[in-house]
Chain A
Amino acid sequence: MSSLRLFTNGFWRENAAMVLLLGMCPTLAVTTSAFNGMGMGLATLVVLLGSNVVISAIAGFIPKKVRIPSYIVVIATLVTLVDMFMAAYAQDLHASLGLFIPLIVVNCIILGRAEAFASRNGIGPSILDALGMGLGFTTTLFLLGGVREILGNGTLTVFEYKETVIRYLVFSPESVSPILVMILAPGAFITLGFFIALKNYIDGARST
């Protein structure tokens, strides 16, 4: 597989959220705003990058029977690091993502890439794979969060750090009432369903 194809794999063909349907817990739970989705995606990306690098480097030493616990130890260490860094430098985002940051440990994307890709490939391809998968996941979460935020709250939050807030008002809640359910759990399922349908529709149209 060419390097470019390896990188773009995670964006479309094997998009973690829309095709592999991995990492559903953060995908559905924290995409209440575009920025939350992006923050979650980036946190996952950092952990994925670290774990892919470390695991592809040490895969040769790990006995087959204990590989999953070993991977989890590596992933948990990285998640703890990310958790502490976010608590220190991005407190608001850390507070709004809450429990879902520690839960990255059990995110199937990371363990899945470790088992299916990093443990069988060198460090270079593993980095590309992690970047593609992580950025593809981040993009999907960002779009998912954006759609839900616009429909459910009437705003689009692109960036939020301390005093710097980039938030667009799509429509004012006074004139048009937002569809509250879209930022609740059912809205996440419905939006993701339509995302997948749209992707399949585009794929179908391209293949014919």
Chain B
Amino acid sequence: MEPRSFTVSYAPHVHDGSSTRRIMWSVFGALVPAAAVAVYAFGLDALRVMLLSTILCVAMEGVALLIMRRDPAACLDGSAALTGFLLGLTLPAGLSNGIIVVGAFVAVIVAKQVFGGLGHNPFNPALTSRVFLLIAFPKQLTTWPVPRGLEDIKEYMGLAVTRTTDAVTSATPLAAIKEHAQRAMPNIQLNDLFFGVHTPGSIGEISALALLLGAAFLLYRRIITWHVPVATLATVAVLGGLTHLANPAKYADPVFHLFAGGLFIGAFFMATDYVTAPVWPLGKIIYGVGIGLLTMVIRLWGGYPEGISFAILLMNAATPLLDRYTVPTPFGSRKPDKAAPGQAGGES
């Protein structure tokens, strides 16, 4: 008898050749412009924070895999490197090395490997770590160096005079608005927020332009879909607009809210994390709206000037529920399907 010439296998039968490794490194690449702007703005300190955070995350993932008797080579799949890179981008430049070690430990061990590694973590590891650090080291995490352009690098190469005073720090635009709305508002230039080379803030959040470039690349390569970012940004814009119309003296305009703080890096690069975001289109939109809503509630009325990290983590918690209740009706079916299959990120 002839051997069977066809293979019986489960879906999916069509594969576009993408892999975890490829996706992770694409996102990594999409963040390089933001990192480049940061190095230009904050100097080598920003490079140190990002490099250290990335290397430590990969190393800790390797150690964790060894302890759990899994293949330690899996630490090079790019997910740990991306977590470390994202973590570095959410921290202020000039953060001490010890705090970065704690951050990498929380991101990789507490937020990821404890839950079973890639694909099993309920919360975004980089953001969990950032929020942990923010609560653990409130002073260090809100000390924002003022961007100095190329001074640091010139100094390093011996082209400029060594500065005599310590690095000057300043409030982020969102913190300035929060503390004294009327006085701060006229001082904030939109083009500063857009190019980011003069704005204090987290390493990766300062330049809207660089983040939008990276986001466009991810959308073009279909690594992320439009649902989450568009829903998040639209909600922030609508809420920002409504509050600004209600009381322009107290609340900043919606354009400011869109471009200030970590909204872009959060909406495009963190909220779209495959593991912790819903998989269905409707779920993604509800998730995005929730993130926008919570971000604005925290920004306008909460205790912290920026709320995107908390908002994404809170909506991460809602992801399994959203996955369960937003399963689309398949074409041709008569009744809405009651039994919703468990999806990635939806392990409960």
Partner of B136, one of A176, A182, A193: A182
The CA-CA distance from A179 to B105 in the complex, in Å, is 13
**Contact present for B99 and A181 (CB under 8 Å):** no
The CA-CA distance from A190 to B129 in the complex, in Å, is 13
User: Given the complex, which residues of B lie within 8 Å of A190, measured CB to CB?
Assistant: 110
Q: A152 to nearest B CB, angstroms?
A: 8
Chain B 89-148 residues near chain A, CB threshold 8 A: 98-99, 102, 110, 114, 132, 135-140
Q: B200 to nearest A CB, angstroms?
A: 21
Q: B125 to nearest A CB, angstroms?
A: 14
The CA-CA distance from A196 to B137 in the complex, in Å, is 26
User: Given the complex, which residues of B lie within 8 Å of A184, measured CB to CB?
Assistant: 135
Q: B16 to nearest A CB, angstroms?
A: 38
**Contact present for A180 and B136 (CB under 8 Å):** yes
Category for how many chain B residues contact A: 10 to 19
Chain A 140-196 residues near chain B, CB threshold 8 A: 176-177, 179-182, 184, 186, 190, 193
Question: Nearest residue in B to A180 (C-beta to C-beta)?
Answer: B136
Q: 23 A-B contacts, Cβ less than 8 Å apart?
A: A176-B98, A177-B98, A177-B99, A177-B137, A177-B139, A177-B140, A179-B102, A179-B136, A179-B137, A180-B135, A180-B136, A180-B137, A180-B138, A181-B132, A181-B135, A181-B136, A182-B136, A184-B135, A186-B132, A186-B135, A190-B110, A193-B114, A197-B114
Q: A10 to nearest B CB, angstroms?
A: 27
Instruction: Kindly list 20 other residue pairs between chains A and B, CB separation below 8 angstroms, not including A177-B139, A181-B136, A193-B114.
Output: A176-B98, A177-B98, A177-B99, A177-B137, A177-B140, A179-B102, A179-B136, A179-B137, A180-B135, A180-B136, A180-B137, A180-B138, A181-B132, A181-B135, A182-B136, A184-B135, A186-B132, A186-B135, A190-B110, A197-B114
Q: A182 to nearest B CB, angstroms?
A: 7
User: Given the complex, which residues of B lie within 8 Å of A193, measured CB to CB?
Assistant: 114
User: Given the complex, which residues of A lie within 8 Å of B102, measured CB to CB?
Assistant: 179
Q: B116 to nearest A CB, angstroms?
A: 12
